[in-house]
Amino acid sequence: MTDSRKPTLLVVDGHSLAFRAFYALPVENFTTKDGQHTNAVYGFLSMFVNLLKAEQPTHLAVAFDAARASFRTREYPEYKATRSETPAPFQGQIPLLQEALHAMGVTTIVKPDFEADDILATLSTQGADSGYDVLVVSGDRDSIQLVNDRVTLLYPSVQGVSQLKRYDPVKVRERYGVDPAQYPDVAALVGETSDNLPGVPKVGEKTAVKWLTQFGSLDGIIEHASEISGVVGQNLRDHLDDVTRNRRLNALIRDVELDVRPDDLAVQPIDAQAVRDIFARLEFRTLLPRVFEATGAVVDDEPAAAGVTLPEPRRLAAAEAAAWLASLPSADAQDSPVAVLIETAGGLPSRVGYAAGNDVVEVDAAAPDDLEPLAAWFASAAPKTLHDAKPQLKALRRAGFDLGGIAFDTLLAGYLLRPSLPDKTLGDLVDRYLDEEIPAADPNQLVPENDGASAGQLAWFISRVATPLSEDMPASVHNVLVDIELPTLAALADLELAGVAVSHDKLSTFSGELSARADVLAQE
């Protein structure tokens, strides 16, 4: 079998990556309407989808810890004893993650009395022996010992689960100064804080590597312990029992009896409907198409988005629209703002859509002066709801109008509620909160059958989605929107319109000073 045709086995430490995802993503931004926390599931699946797309494995499995208790805790009860209790928001997410993986056709493996890393060690050893290229994904540094010419470790970087470092034998030697098989010897001497395995006092990685280079192995170091002088030598002799125990415990088991072998883990087709069902419960709408794309799923039976009958906009002249706005019962009511959507062309307003309930109005503007009758309403304190108000405010100001009374901005509200999620576009918010889809023109058609939602209809969607968005906002978040974000919005618009004066000479001088300081710091 040529290298280009070798099968690729991808094995993932589910608990390790799920925990990292849990701490990487804010819990408050990943909670379903019924209160289920989902940040660990979302973060894991996002990373997992990227892995599938980038690595395109032919065989695949995700391993999970059965429980904290294992043969290691029987030998050393203090093993991992310093780890805090599982956070309450994390509890219950692993079964949901496993359910999602099963729907995606992914085999999950749990073995009582063993850790997920032991399962990974067994499968990676079997896979390498059977001619697979093996990718091990784990956030546990003990997995470094598995690396060889056929096994590569993908380890989360400090940036979180979204970025993985690749460790082959060369990379391990560059980073730790030893071969992968010797890494457990280093860890036995230095200790593992996360596993509550104390090392030799005052012995760090450099000292451990120096001893291994000098004596060849951990057994060689122990054999010549009496020859090592100084405080560290005495510390080593005083803690030999700790060192040998650490080495026993950090050795991964490579022959765990499992119900499957690598050949049984061929990538399977996903169950599209099951994926839709679990993702709907988890409210992962934007993640669904990424899963289908990464798995190469051909989904012919994808249900259409929830249908909605759009109101037909009334086309009015600006003067007629001004009269209509003045006649609205909610014209001065702070709790009943009018939704506004300003379309632009060349940085100037070209069409304005309004929505008050199901009453939808549109005003065309071939020139800015066409909107003059609406100037007073634009500038008034009459409450208005917009989506992404700043560019619309800038367009009005370029045309000589002001915009007052911005009571709610659905884009800003979506960002404040879930900064880490892609629920920012109006379409995303409508999908999440209304379970509807905004009609859009098909970009693949030379002559689209429809033009998509008009300005007035978009304003109608803004008006409707603003209510559940507002209800979803805690009082503290709403205060940030009203007291900070909306007032700042107008100031930023002015700043962007006016620009900022700078001195080229002063900036150049400052740049030179920074470069000189950077050089000094680099030398240090």
- CA 65 to CA 140: how far, in whole Å? 13
The yes-or-no verdict on residue 448 having pLDDT over 70 is: no
Q: How far is CA 467 from CA 283, 321, 357, 408, 460, in A?
A: 19, 24, 12, 10, 12
The single-letter code of the amino acid at 374 is: L
CA atoms within 13 A on the CB side of 130: 16
Residues 6+ apart with CB under 8 A from 478: 470
**Range with the poorest average pLDDT among 104-113, 160-169, 264-273, 466-475:** 160-169
Say if CB 456 and CB 401 are below 8 A apart.
no
Residue 185's Cβ-side half-sphere holds a number of Cα atoms within 13 Å equal to 23
Q: How high is the pLDDT of residue 400? A: 94
pTM over 0.95: no
Q: pLDDT tens-digit profile of 394-405?
A: 999 999 999 999
Residue 55's DSSP bridge partners are: none
229 vs 5, residue with greater confidence: 229
Of the listed ranges 21-30, 48-57, 403-412, 505-514, the least confidently predicted one is: 21-30
pLDDT at residue 148 tops 60: yes
- What is the DSSP code (8-state) at residue 307? P
Distance, in Å, from the CA atom of 182 to the CA atom of 17, rounded to the nearest integer, reads 24
Condensed to tens digits (0 to 9), the pLDDT of residues 75-99 reads 888 888 777 778 889 989 999 999 9
The whole-number pLDDT of residue 326 equals 92
User: In CATH, what class is 3-170+252-265?
Assistant: alpha beta
Q: How confident is the model at residue 435, as a pLDDT?
A: 82
How much is the average pLDDT of 209-227? 91
pLDDT, tens digit, for every residue of 283-337? 887 788 889 888 877 655 554 444 578 999 999 999 999 999 999 875 455 557 9
User: Domain coordinates of the chain in residue numbers?
Assistant: 3-170+252-265, 314-498
Starting at the edge strand that comes first in sequence, how are the strands of the sheet with 348-356 ordered? 314-315, 359-364, 348-356, 338-345, 384-386, 406-409
CATH 3.20.20.70 is right for the domain spanning 314-498: no
How far apart, in whole angstroms, are the C-alpha atoms of residue 420 and residue 283?
14
Dist. CA 19–CA 25, nearest whole Å: 10
